[in-house]
Structure 1
Protein backbone atom coordinates (compact mmCIF):
# COMPACT_ATOMS: atom_id res chain seq x y z
CA UNK A 1 0.00 0.00 0.00
CA UNK A 2 1.40 3.39 -0.99
CA UNK A 3 1.86 5.90 1.78
CA UNK A 4 0.30 9.34 1.46
CA UNK A 5 1.60 12.70 2.62
CA UNK A 6 1.20 14.36 5.99
CA UNK A 7 -1.91 16.39 6.73
CA UNK A 8 -2.84 19.21 9.14
CA UNK A 9 -4.13 18.28 12.59
CA UNK A 10 -7.50 19.97 12.30
CA UNK A 11 -8.40 23.39 10.90
CA UNK A 12 -6.85 25.68 13.54
CA UNK A 13 -3.54 27.53 13.63
CA UNK A 14 -1.63 24.60 15.14
CA UNK A 15 1.45 24.05 12.89
CA UNK A 16 1.77 20.38 13.82
CA UNK A 17 1.21 17.95 10.98
CA UNK A 18 0.40 14.26 11.06
CA UNK A 19 1.41 11.58 8.55
CA UNK A 20 -0.78 8.50 9.16
CA UNK A 21 1.87 6.23 7.63
CA UNK A 22 4.37 7.26 10.30
CA UNK A 23 2.66 5.28 13.02
CA UNK A 24 2.56 2.24 10.75
CA UNK A 25 6.15 2.25 9.51
CA UNK A 26 8.29 3.91 12.19
CA UNK A 27 9.03 0.79 14.24
CA UNK A 28 9.85 -1.31 11.16
CA UNK A 29 12.19 1.43 9.95
CA UNK A 30 13.77 1.76 13.40
CA UNK A 31 14.50 -1.97 13.43
CA UNK A 32 16.60 -1.62 10.27
CA UNK A 33 18.24 1.57 11.53
CA UNK A 34 19.34 -0.31 14.65
CA UNK A 35 21.59 -2.43 12.43
CA UNK A 36 22.77 0.32 10.07
CA UNK A 37 23.33 3.51 12.08
CA UNK A 38 26.59 4.22 13.92
CA UNK A 39 26.62 4.04 17.71
CA UNK A 40 27.19 7.79 18.01
CA UNK A 41 27.40 10.82 15.76
CA UNK A 42 25.07 12.96 13.65
CA UNK A 43 22.22 11.59 11.55
CA UNK A 44 21.02 13.95 8.83
CA UNK A 45 17.39 13.33 7.90
CA UNK A 46 16.56 14.71 4.45
CA UNK A 47 12.89 15.57 3.78
CA UNK A 48 11.67 15.08 7.35
CA UNK A 49 8.07 16.02 6.51
CA UNK A 50 5.89 16.35 9.59
CA UNK A 51 8.82 15.63 11.93
CA UNK A 52 7.17 12.63 13.56
CA UNK A 53 9.89 10.26 12.41
CA UNK A 54 12.59 12.59 13.70
CA UNK A 55 11.06 12.67 17.16
CA UNK A 56 10.53 8.91 17.26
CA UNK A 57 14.06 8.11 16.15
CA UNK A 58 15.63 10.69 18.46
CA UNK A 59 13.84 8.95 21.34
CA UNK A 60 14.92 5.49 20.20
CA UNK A 61 18.55 6.44 19.48
CA UNK A 62 19.49 8.78 22.34
CA UNK A 63 23.24 8.49 21.68
CA UNK A 64 22.80 9.94 18.19
CA UNK A 65 22.19 13.58 17.34
CA UNK A 66 19.30 13.97 14.90
CA UNK A 67 19.21 16.78 12.32
CA UNK A 68 15.81 17.12 10.60
CA UNK A 69 15.45 19.10 7.37
CA UNK A 70 12.82 19.92 4.77
CA UNK A 71 12.33 22.31 1.83
CA UNK A 72 8.74 23.16 2.87
CA UNK A 73 8.23 25.96 5.44
CA UNK A 74 5.03 24.30 6.70
CA UNK A 75 6.97 21.11 7.37
CA UNK A 76 9.68 23.03 9.19
CA UNK A 77 7.03 24.66 11.39
CA UNK A 78 5.58 21.24 12.23
CA UNK A 79 9.01 19.82 13.04
CA UNK A 80 9.82 22.79 15.26
CA UNK A 81 6.53 22.46 17.14
CA UNK A 82 6.96 18.72 17.70
CA UNK A 83 10.57 19.27 18.74
CA UNK A 84 9.41 21.80 21.31
CA UNK A 85 6.87 19.33 22.68
CA UNK A 86 9.41 16.51 22.90
CA UNK A 87 12.19 18.49 24.59
CA UNK A 88 14.85 16.07 23.40
CA UNK A 89 18.48 17.20 23.79
CA UNK A 90 19.61 15.18 20.76
CA UNK A 91 17.00 16.60 18.33
CA UNK A 92 18.32 19.68 16.56
CA UNK A 93 16.48 22.72 15.20
CA UNK A 94 15.20 21.86 11.71
CA UNK A 95 17.02 23.28 8.70
CA UNK A 96 15.69 24.40 5.33
CA UNK A 97 17.19 22.00 2.80
CA UNK A 98 16.36 21.31 -0.84
CA UNK A 99 18.00 18.05 -1.88
CA UNK A 100 18.44 19.29 -5.45
CA UNK A 101 20.32 22.41 -4.34
CA UNK A 102 24.05 22.71 -4.95
CA UNK A 103 24.77 23.89 -1.41
CA UNK A 104 23.41 22.32 1.76
CA UNK A 105 23.35 23.98 5.21
CA UNK A 106 25.53 21.28 6.75
CA UNK A 107 29.07 20.15 6.02
CA UNK A 108 29.31 16.64 7.51
CA UNK A 109 27.17 13.75 8.76
CA UNK A 110 27.80 10.27 10.11
CA UNK A 111 24.66 8.84 8.48
CA UNK A 112 21.94 10.17 6.17
CA UNK A 113 18.32 9.00 6.13
CA UNK A 114 15.66 9.89 3.56
CA UNK A 115 12.11 8.58 3.93
CA UNK A 116 9.47 8.83 1.20
CA UNK A 117 11.11 11.57 -0.85
CA UNK A 118 12.55 9.85 -3.90
CA UNK A 119 9.17 9.18 -5.53
CA UNK A 120 7.53 12.50 -4.52
CA UNK A 121 10.18 14.80 -6.01
CA UNK A 122 11.93 15.34 -9.35
CA UNK A 123 14.76 12.96 -10.23
CA UNK A 124 17.13 15.90 -9.77
CA UNK A 125 16.38 15.77 -6.04
CA UNK A 126 17.53 12.14 -5.85
CA UNK A 127 20.65 12.94 -7.87
CA UNK A 128 21.39 15.83 -5.51
CA UNK A 129 20.82 13.60 -2.49
CA UNK A 130 23.27 11.03 -3.80
CA UNK A 131 25.89 13.56 -4.87
CA UNK A 132 25.95 15.56 -1.64
CA UNK A 133 25.68 12.46 0.56
CA UNK A 134 28.91 11.21 -0.96
CA UNK A 135 30.54 14.51 -0.03
CA UNK A 136 29.19 14.65 3.53
CA UNK A 137 29.66 11.04 4.63
CA UNK A 138 32.96 9.50 5.75
CA UNK A 139 34.04 6.20 4.15
CA UNK A 140 31.80 3.32 5.17
CA UNK A 141 28.98 5.55 6.45
CA UNK A 142 25.40 4.82 5.33
CA UNK A 143 22.85 6.59 3.17
CA UNK A 144 19.50 4.94 3.92
CA UNK A 145 16.46 5.33 1.66
CA UNK A 146 12.92 4.18 2.41
CA UNK A 147 9.88 4.07 0.16
CA UNK A 148 8.23 2.26 -2.75
CA UNK A 149 10.39 1.33 -5.75
CA UNK A 150 10.27 -0.61 -9.00
CA UNK A 151 12.59 -3.58 -9.41
CA UNK A 152 13.56 -5.40 -12.57
CA UNK A 153 12.34 -8.98 -12.44
CA UNK A 154 10.17 -8.36 -9.36
CA UNK A 155 6.40 -7.98 -9.85
CA UNK A 156 5.14 -4.58 -8.73
CA UNK A 157 2.15 -4.59 -6.38
CA UNK A 158 -1.03 -3.25 -8.01
CA UNK A 159 -1.31 -0.63 -5.27
CA UNK A 160 2.17 0.65 -6.09
CA UNK A 161 1.36 0.78 -9.82
CA UNK A 162 -1.76 2.80 -9.04
CA UNK A 163 0.26 5.07 -6.76
CA UNK A 164 2.84 5.58 -9.51
CA UNK A 165 0.11 6.64 -11.96
CA UNK A 166 -1.40 9.03 -9.44
CA UNK A 167 1.98 10.62 -8.75
CA UNK A 168 2.66 11.18 -12.44
CA UNK A 169 -0.82 12.64 -12.87
CA UNK A 170 -0.02 15.17 -10.12
CA UNK A 171 3.46 15.97 -11.41
CA UNK A 172 5.11 14.50 -14.49
CA UNK A 173 8.50 14.62 -12.73
CA UNK A 174 7.33 12.39 -9.88
CA UNK A 175 6.93 8.63 -9.80
CA UNK A 176 8.39 5.40 -8.44
CA UNK A 177 12.04 4.95 -9.37
CA UNK A 178 13.71 1.76 -10.52
CA UNK A 179 16.20 0.44 -7.98
CA UNK A 180 18.65 -0.24 -10.83
CA UNK A 181 18.58 3.46 -11.77
CA UNK A 182 19.19 4.51 -8.18
CA UNK A 183 22.02 1.99 -7.87
CA UNK A 184 23.64 3.30 -11.06
CA UNK A 185 23.39 6.94 -9.98
CA UNK A 186 24.70 6.06 -6.51
CA UNK A 187 27.68 4.18 -7.94
CA UNK A 188 28.59 7.21 -10.06
CA UNK A 189 28.83 9.20 -6.81
CA UNK A 190 30.95 6.66 -4.95
CA UNK A 191 28.11 5.03 -3.01
CA UNK A 192 27.94 1.23 -3.04
CA UNK A 193 24.72 -0.74 -2.46
CA UNK A 194 25.08 -2.55 0.88
CA UNK A 195 21.63 -3.88 1.74
CA UNK A 196 18.09 -4.19 0.41
CA UNK A 197 15.34 -4.89 2.95
CA UNK A 198 11.75 -5.71 2.00
CA UNK A 199 9.46 -3.67 4.26
CA UNK A 200 5.74 -3.82 5.05
CA UNK A 201 3.19 -2.35 2.62
CA UNK A 202 5.39 -3.06 -0.45
CA UNK A 203 8.17 -0.66 0.51
CA UNK A 204 11.94 -1.11 0.54
CA UNK A 205 14.86 0.08 2.60
CA UNK A 206 17.91 0.65 0.40
CA UNK A 207 21.23 1.06 2.18
CA UNK A 208 24.27 2.52 0.43
CA UNK A 209 27.69 3.05 1.95
CA UNK A 210 30.34 5.58 1.08
CA UNK A 211 33.30 3.93 -0.59
Structure 2
Protein backbone atom coordinates (compact mmCIF):
# COMPACT_ATOMS: atom_id res chain seq x y z
CA UNK A 1 0.00 0.00 0.00
CA UNK A 2 1.29 3.46 -0.93
CA UNK A 3 0.43 6.12 1.63
CA UNK A 4 2.10 9.00 -0.19
CA UNK A 5 -1.05 9.99 -2.08
CA UNK A 6 -2.74 10.80 1.21
CA UNK A 7 -0.07 13.11 2.59
CA UNK A 8 -1.01 16.40 0.84
CA UNK A 9 -4.66 15.98 1.81
CA UNK A 10 -4.16 15.16 5.47
CA UNK A 11 -1.28 17.51 6.17
CA UNK A 12 -3.29 20.41 4.78
CA UNK A 13 -0.69 21.41 2.20
CA UNK A 14 -1.29 24.19 -0.33
CA UNK A 15 0.90 26.59 -2.31
CA UNK A 16 2.00 29.94 -0.90
CA UNK A 17 4.47 32.22 -2.71
CA UNK A 18 5.57 29.36 -4.96
CA UNK A 19 6.32 27.09 -2.03
CA UNK A 20 4.26 24.25 -0.52
CA UNK A 21 2.73 25.52 2.71
CA UNK A 22 1.17 23.97 5.80
CA UNK A 23 -0.61 26.22 8.28
CA UNK A 24 -0.34 23.48 10.90
CA UNK A 25 3.47 23.61 10.62
CA UNK A 26 3.41 27.37 11.13
CA UNK A 27 1.19 26.96 14.18
CA UNK A 28 3.17 24.24 15.93
CA UNK A 29 6.81 24.91 14.96
CA UNK A 30 7.54 27.24 17.92
CA UNK A 31 6.23 24.98 20.72
CA UNK A 32 7.89 21.94 19.15
CA UNK A 33 11.19 23.80 18.86
CA UNK A 34 11.04 24.71 22.54
CA UNK A 35 10.95 21.00 23.46
CA UNK A 36 13.44 19.84 20.83
CA UNK A 37 16.00 22.36 22.10
CA UNK A 38 16.04 20.48 25.41
CA UNK A 39 15.94 16.97 23.94
CA UNK A 40 18.54 17.47 21.18
CA UNK A 41 20.96 19.62 23.18
CA UNK A 42 24.16 18.00 21.93
CA UNK A 43 25.75 18.29 18.46
CA UNK A 44 24.70 15.59 16.01
CA UNK A 45 22.55 14.68 13.04
CA UNK A 46 18.76 14.39 13.43
CA UNK A 47 16.70 12.45 10.89
CA UNK A 48 13.27 13.89 10.16
CA UNK A 49 10.80 11.29 8.88
CA UNK A 50 8.02 12.82 6.80
CA UNK A 51 9.56 16.24 6.19
CA UNK A 52 6.66 17.35 3.99
CA UNK A 53 6.83 21.00 3.00
CA UNK A 54 10.17 21.59 4.76
CA UNK A 55 8.88 24.33 7.08
CA UNK A 56 9.82 22.39 10.20
CA UNK A 57 13.24 21.49 8.81
CA UNK A 58 14.09 25.12 8.09
CA UNK A 59 12.78 26.43 11.41
CA UNK A 60 14.51 23.82 13.55
CA UNK A 61 17.82 23.94 11.67
CA UNK A 62 17.89 27.73 11.84
CA UNK A 63 17.32 27.82 15.61
CA UNK A 64 19.37 24.72 16.50
CA UNK A 65 22.65 25.43 14.69
CA UNK A 66 24.50 22.73 16.67
CA UNK A 67 22.44 20.11 14.80
CA UNK A 68 22.62 18.81 11.26
CA UNK A 69 19.06 18.28 10.04
CA UNK A 70 18.46 15.36 7.67
CA UNK A 71 15.09 15.66 5.89
CA UNK A 72 13.41 12.55 4.47
CA UNK A 73 10.04 11.59 3.10
CA UNK A 74 8.29 8.95 1.04
CA UNK A 75 9.93 8.70 -2.40
CA UNK A 76 6.97 10.45 -4.04
CA UNK A 77 7.22 13.40 -1.65
CA UNK A 78 10.94 13.65 -0.91
CA UNK A 79 11.51 16.62 -3.23
CA UNK A 80 8.52 18.63 -1.99
CA UNK A 81 10.63 20.43 0.63
CA UNK A 82 13.25 21.70 -1.84
CA UNK A 83 11.75 25.21 -2.34
CA UNK A 84 11.93 25.89 1.41
CA UNK A 85 15.39 24.36 1.76
CA UNK A 86 16.75 26.20 -1.26
CA UNK A 87 15.41 29.55 -0.11
CA UNK A 88 16.80 29.11 3.43
CA UNK A 89 20.22 27.94 2.16
CA UNK A 90 21.24 26.75 5.62
CA UNK A 91 24.55 24.92 5.88
CA UNK A 92 23.21 22.54 8.53
CA UNK A 93 20.39 21.04 6.42
CA UNK A 94 21.32 18.06 4.27
CA UNK A 95 19.62 17.35 0.93
CA UNK A 96 16.38 15.40 1.44
CA UNK A 97 16.43 11.62 1.21
CA UNK A 98 13.73 9.33 -0.18
CA UNK A 99 12.68 6.97 2.62
CA UNK A 100 9.97 4.34 2.42
CA UNK A 101 9.65 3.13 6.01
CA UNK A 102 8.57 -0.32 4.78
CA UNK A 103 11.70 -0.80 2.68
CA UNK A 104 14.63 -2.67 4.16
CA UNK A 105 17.16 0.02 3.35
CA UNK A 106 17.49 1.94 6.62
CA UNK A 107 21.14 0.91 6.66
CA UNK A 108 21.90 3.32 3.81
CA UNK A 109 20.93 6.36 5.90
CA UNK A 110 23.72 8.50 7.38
CA UNK A 111 24.73 8.02 11.00
CA UNK A 112 22.30 9.88 13.25
CA UNK A 113 22.08 10.82 16.90
CA UNK A 114 18.33 11.50 16.97
CA UNK A 115 15.10 11.24 14.98
CA UNK A 116 11.92 13.33 14.70
CA UNK A 117 8.57 12.87 13.01
CA UNK A 118 5.44 15.03 13.11
CA UNK A 119 1.87 14.11 12.20
CA UNK A 120 2.77 10.85 10.50
CA UNK A 121 1.63 8.05 12.83
CA UNK A 122 -2.08 8.72 12.23
CA UNK A 123 -1.59 8.86 8.45
CA UNK A 124 0.54 5.74 8.09
CA UNK A 125 -0.98 2.28 8.24
CA UNK A 126 -0.23 0.52 11.53
CA UNK A 127 2.23 -1.77 9.75
CA UNK A 128 4.12 1.32 8.62
CA UNK A 129 4.15 2.75 12.15
CA UNK A 130 5.65 -0.55 13.30
CA UNK A 131 8.24 -0.37 10.52
CA UNK A 132 9.10 3.22 11.45
CA UNK A 133 9.75 2.28 15.08
CA UNK A 134 11.85 -0.74 14.10
CA UNK A 135 13.84 1.28 11.58
CA UNK A 136 14.50 4.15 13.96
CA UNK A 137 15.53 1.74 16.72
CA UNK A 138 17.92 0.04 14.30
CA UNK A 139 19.85 3.20 13.41
CA UNK A 140 19.72 5.17 16.68
CA UNK A 141 22.76 4.87 18.94
CA UNK A 142 22.21 3.76 22.53
CA UNK A 143 20.66 6.68 24.38
CA UNK A 144 19.52 8.34 21.15
CA UNK A 145 16.10 10.00 21.15
CA UNK A 146 13.13 9.65 18.80
CA UNK A 147 10.58 12.47 19.07
CA UNK A 148 7.09 11.75 17.74
CA UNK A 149 4.58 14.62 17.53
CA UNK A 150 0.84 14.43 16.96
CA UNK A 151 -2.51 13.55 18.55
CA UNK A 152 -2.78 10.29 20.52
CA UNK A 153 -5.38 8.26 22.45
CA UNK A 154 -4.96 7.06 26.02
CA UNK A 155 -6.46 3.68 26.95
CA UNK A 156 -8.77 3.93 23.97
CA UNK A 157 -10.11 7.32 25.02
CA UNK A 158 -9.97 10.54 23.01
CA UNK A 159 -8.31 13.48 24.75
CA UNK A 160 -10.70 16.04 23.25
CA UNK A 161 -13.83 16.35 21.13
CA UNK A 162 -11.75 17.88 18.33
CA UNK A 163 -9.44 14.86 18.30
CA UNK A 164 -12.46 12.57 18.20
CA UNK A 165 -13.79 14.43 15.16
CA UNK A 166 -10.37 14.37 13.54
CA UNK A 167 -10.03 10.63 14.13
CA UNK A 168 -13.46 10.03 12.63
CA UNK A 169 -12.60 12.09 9.55
CA UNK A 170 -9.34 10.17 9.07
CA UNK A 171 -11.09 6.81 9.20
CA UNK A 172 -13.76 7.99 6.79
CA UNK A 173 -11.08 9.01 4.31
CA UNK A 174 -9.07 5.79 4.52
CA UNK A 175 -9.40 2.65 6.63
CA UNK A 176 -5.70 2.41 7.42
CA UNK A 177 -5.53 5.82 9.11
CA UNK A 178 -6.50 6.94 12.59
CA UNK A 179 -5.15 8.36 15.85
CA UNK A 180 -2.94 5.82 17.62
CA UNK A 181 -3.29 4.66 21.20
CA UNK A 182 -0.48 5.21 23.68
CA UNK A 183 -0.70 1.68 25.08
CA UNK A 184 -0.12 0.25 21.62
CA UNK A 185 2.76 2.64 21.00
CA UNK A 186 4.41 1.85 24.31
CA UNK A 187 4.23 -1.89 23.58
CA UNK A 188 5.60 -1.26 20.12
CA UNK A 189 8.42 0.87 21.52
CA UNK A 190 9.40 -1.76 24.07
CA UNK A 191 9.47 -4.48 21.42
CA UNK A 192 11.81 -2.33 19.33
CA UNK A 193 14.07 -1.41 22.25
CA UNK A 194 12.70 2.12 22.72
CA UNK A 195 11.66 3.40 26.15
CA UNK A 196 9.22 6.29 26.54
CA UNK A 197 11.11 9.01 28.42
CA UNK A 198 8.79 12.02 28.10
CA UNK A 199 5.20 12.76 27.16
CA UNK A 200 4.82 16.50 26.70
CA UNK A 201 1.45 18.19 26.41
CA UNK A 202 1.37 20.51 23.40
CA UNK A 203 -1.10 23.08 22.02
CA UNK A 204 -4.21 22.01 20.09
CA UNK A 205 -4.52 18.70 21.99
CA UNK A 206 -1.28 17.29 20.59
CA UNK A 207 1.61 15.57 22.36
CA UNK A 208 5.35 15.25 21.87
CA UNK A 209 6.51 11.77 22.80
CA UNK A 210 10.22 11.25 23.43
CA UNK A 211 11.54 7.71 23.10
CA UNK A 212 15.06 6.68 24.11
CA UNK A 213 16.96 3.72 22.74
CA UNK A 214 17.76 1.50 25.69
Partner secondary structure for residue 163 of structure 1: helix
Shift of 1:153: 7.7
Aligned to 1:132: 135
Q: 1: distance between equivalents of 2:10 and 2:177?
A: 14
State which of 5, 9, 13 in structure 2 corresponds to 1:7.
13
SS in 1 for 2:78: helix
Q: Of 160, 171, 182, which residue of structure 2 is paired with 1:179?
A: 182
What TM-score does the superposition give when structure 2 sets the normalisation length?
A: 0.90
Task: Indicate the SS of the match to 2:79.
Answer: helix
Counterpart of 2:155 (choices 149, 152, 157) is 152
Q: For residues 162 and 112 of structure 2, what CA distance do their matches in structure 1 show?
A: 35
- CA gap of 1:94–1:153, structure 2 versus 1, over 3 A, is closer
Q: Does 1:165 align with 2:171?
A: no
Runs of 4+ in 1 over 4 A off after TM superposition: none
Q: Taking structure 1 as the reference length, what is the TM-score of the superposition? A: 0.92
Aligned partners of 2:156 and 2:181 also within 8 Å: no
Whole-angstrom CA distance in 2 between matches of 1:32 and 1:124: 28
For structure 2, which runs of at least 5 residues remain unmatched after alignment? Answer: 1-8
Determine which of 29, 34, 38 is the counterpart of 2:32: 29
* Cα contact 1:58–1:64 (8 A) shared by 2: yes
Report deviation, 1:152: 1.9
Displacement of 1:115 in angstroms is 0.4
User: What's the CA shift for 1:155?
Assistant: 5.0
Q: Name the residue aligned to 1:68.
A: 71
Q: Is the 8 A contact 2:10 2:123 kept in 1?
A: no
| Secondary structure of the corresponding residue to residue 78 of structure 1 | coil
**Shift, 1:77, TM fit:** 2.8
Q: Deviations over 1:59-86 (max 9, x none)?
A: 011111000011153x433311111100
Q: Name the CA distance, whole Å, in 2 between partners of 1:155 and 1:77.
A: 34
Q: Please report the RMSD computed on the Cα atoms of aligned residues, expressed in angstroms.
A: 1.8
Aligned to 1:91, the other structure's residue is in SS state coil
